[in-house]
């Protein structure tokens, strides 16, 4: 018998390496899918094109303090995202590659901070920290909105950075108030005071979930209050000089309309208080389709009321109530709170994982697999249905162009999720991987079918050519700056009202007007200089005098060249003599 005690069983270097790869595999899966998906199309109107349009106007005018949209100060957003875009342009030149990479980097940062938050709050249950980034990365709506060059993902990053600072290394120790102040300042410079709605409740209710805050209430509220004041000081350091430069109208909108105006009686996106409840099913895809998740939600809510679960309650519940009471609503406004939802699911799934042998068969992944099989079958049969005339093309798009390869991949994904294992969180990783890959493939399918109805580049380039020759261009009805970046425009468009624009047309007969309508007539094709589909409408560019005469019912000679008739290939088209 050996005189030495036996050595403890320790995993080999190779085993530790494999475990590390398995733990961080979500990074490879999500990052690959996000980079693939975000470059499938050009910038999407109206989210990405508006952000890039404002950033371009600031860049081209050299005015970096006040955001501008179509030549006017833009009070709807604060400038941090624009500045980050400018930083990349200063190094690599103007383009849309850097903003997309920046957006993906924000998304990766959100997932990393979500994992850290879960690891600290649920240190006694490591599986919660492991599953949280998988669950969060697989939310379909979060993935798709994360591909838009807009403010919410950066705001989400700031919110999670602030909450991580509040949690600190351990809820039993003093928070990192300096980091909290910096994160709050960044969030305020990303989307204004709405940042406080996301972080104020976990701070104000800190003694209910944070042991150090319960023991040191005075130091908690003093340190956090000073941090919030410091964040506001940074915001005011920008807002005050910007308000002076932007003028009185900009100042009033910046300090009132974009805060109280949205809360009390929203001028934009107004919805009833229960609207988020109606949107909840869409926000929970794909996890809504997995019956085991519903059991996990119950187990998560019924878990022991530790600091982590109390933190989720102090964050998720009051923020959702607050946004429900605010008049203006969008589904992506609650994007930062998706992390709280993912952690709640992870708690329940971690507890359920311990009882997986007792879980009934009905809680398997077969509903998810059936959805994938149904979608794949529809894609496989669609070309035949279109050819037989049983299905008509949507938005004038030939859906038979959808490749059968998408159907085959859909069947393969359905089989993969059907055979998902049921223990050690492996099922979550399998379902999450299938969801992430499915979202990436959805963007590729969209790019091959419907994207031409969202591509503003033909119209933007034509407007740029008109302006280069000194021809004034007007836009009928609200203009969302969708042509500024794509056409690299250096002059604003004249915005015509929805009604009462006829005198302007008569006064500027040689100007061009960008307008929209649901259907096209032969006269439209004869007299318009450019016609292209845009979303659910047709976009036309026509001489102001020609349109005015046709509105009065006057007969006009047919131009020597006119817009081509709409081709079967669905791609936007212009007159052969596209130059103005």
Helix residue ranges per DSSP H, 46-125: 47-61, 80-92, 97-121
Determine the pLDDT at residue 258. Answer: 57
CB–CB of 335/103 below 8 Å?
A: no
Determine the pLDDT at residue 460. Answer: 94
Determine the pLDDT at residue 69. Answer: 95
Determine the pLDDT at residue 131. Answer: 94
Determine the pLDDT at residue 523. Answer: 83
Q: Nearest-5° angle of CA 512, CA 513, CA 514? A: 125
Determine the pLDDT at residue 267. Answer: 47
pTM of structure: 0.90
Q: Nearest-5° angle of CA 212, CA 214, CA 216? A: 65
Q: What is the DSSP string of 356-384?
A: GGGS-GGGSSHHHHHHHHHHHHHHHHHHH
Determine the pLDDT at residue 561. Answer: 54
Low-confidence ranges of the chain (pLDDT < 50): 1-11, 13, 15, 17, 261-267, 359-362, 564-580
């Amino acid at each position: 018998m050996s005189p030495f005690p036996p050595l403890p069983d320790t995993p080999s270097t190779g085993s530790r390496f494999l475990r590390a790869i398995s733990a961080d595999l979500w990074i490879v899966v999500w990052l690959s899918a996000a980079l693939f998906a975000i470059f499938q199309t050009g910038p999407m109107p109206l989210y990405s094109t508006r952000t890039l349009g404002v950033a371009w106007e600031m860049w081209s005018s050299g005015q970096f303090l006040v955001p501008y949209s179509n030549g006017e100060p833009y009070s709807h957003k604060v400038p941090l995202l624009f500045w980050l875009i400018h930083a990349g342009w200063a190094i690599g030149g103007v383009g849309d590659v850097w903003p997309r990479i920046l957006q993906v980097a924000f998304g990766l940062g959100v997932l990393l901070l979500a994992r850290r938050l879960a690891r600290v709050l649920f240190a006694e249950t490591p599986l919660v920290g492991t599953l949280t980034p998988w669950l969060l990365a697989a939310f379909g709506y979060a993935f798709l909105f994360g591909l838009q060059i807009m403010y919410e993902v950066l705001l989400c990053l700031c919110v999670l950075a602030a909450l991580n600072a509040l949690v600190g290394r351990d809820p039993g120790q003093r928070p990192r108030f300096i980091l909290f102040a910096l994160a709050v300042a960044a969030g305020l410079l990303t989307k204004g005071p709405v940042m406080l709605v996301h972080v104020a409740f976990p701070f104000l209710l800190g003694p209910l979930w944070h042991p150090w805050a319960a023991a040191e209430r005075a130091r908690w509220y003093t340190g956090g209050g000073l941090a919030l004041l410091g964040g506001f000081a940074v915001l005011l350091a920008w807002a005050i000089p910007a308000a002076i430069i932007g003028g009185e109208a900009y100042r009033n909108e910046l300090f009132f309309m974009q805060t109280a105006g949205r809360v009390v009686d929203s001028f934009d996106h107004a919805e009833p208080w229960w609207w988020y409840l109606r949107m909840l099913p869409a926000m929970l895809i794909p996890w809504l389709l997995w019956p085991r998740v519903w059991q996990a939600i119950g187990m998560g809510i019924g878990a022991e009321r530790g600091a982590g679960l109390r933190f989720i309650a102090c964050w998720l519940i009051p923020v959702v109530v607050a946004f429900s009471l605010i008049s203006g609503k969008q589904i992506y406004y609650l994007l930062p709170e998706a992390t709280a939802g993912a952690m709640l699911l992870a708690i329940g799934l971690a507890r359920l994982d311990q009882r997986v042998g007792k879980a009934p068969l009905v809680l398997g992944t077969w509903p998810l697999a059936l959805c994938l099989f149904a979608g794949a079958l529809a894609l496989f049969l669609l070309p035949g249905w279109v050819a037989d005339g049983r299905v008509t093309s949507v938005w004038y798009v030939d859906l038979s162009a959808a490749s059968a390869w998408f159907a085959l991949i859909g069947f393969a994904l359905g089989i993969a999720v059907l055979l998902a294992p049921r223990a050690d969180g492996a099922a979550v990783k399998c379902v999450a991987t299938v969801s992430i890959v499915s979202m990436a493939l959805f963007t590729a399918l969209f790019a091959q079918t419907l994207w031409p109805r969202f591509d503003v580049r033909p119209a933007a380039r034509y407007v740029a050519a008109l302006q280069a020759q000194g021809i004034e261009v007007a836009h009928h009805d609200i203009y969302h700056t969708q042509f500024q970046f794509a056409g690299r425009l250096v002059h604003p468009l004249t915005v015509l009202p929805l009604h009462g624009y006829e005198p302007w047309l008569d006064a500027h007969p040689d100007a061009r007007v960008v307008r929209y309508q649901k259907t096209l007539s032969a006269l439209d094709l004869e007299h318009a200089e450019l016609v292209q589909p845009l979303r659910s409408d047709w976009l036309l560019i026509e001489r102001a005098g020609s349109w005015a005469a046709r509105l009065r019912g006057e007969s006009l000679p047919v131009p020597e060249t006119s817009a081509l008739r709409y081709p079967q290939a669905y791609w936007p088209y212009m007159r052969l003599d596209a130059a103005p």
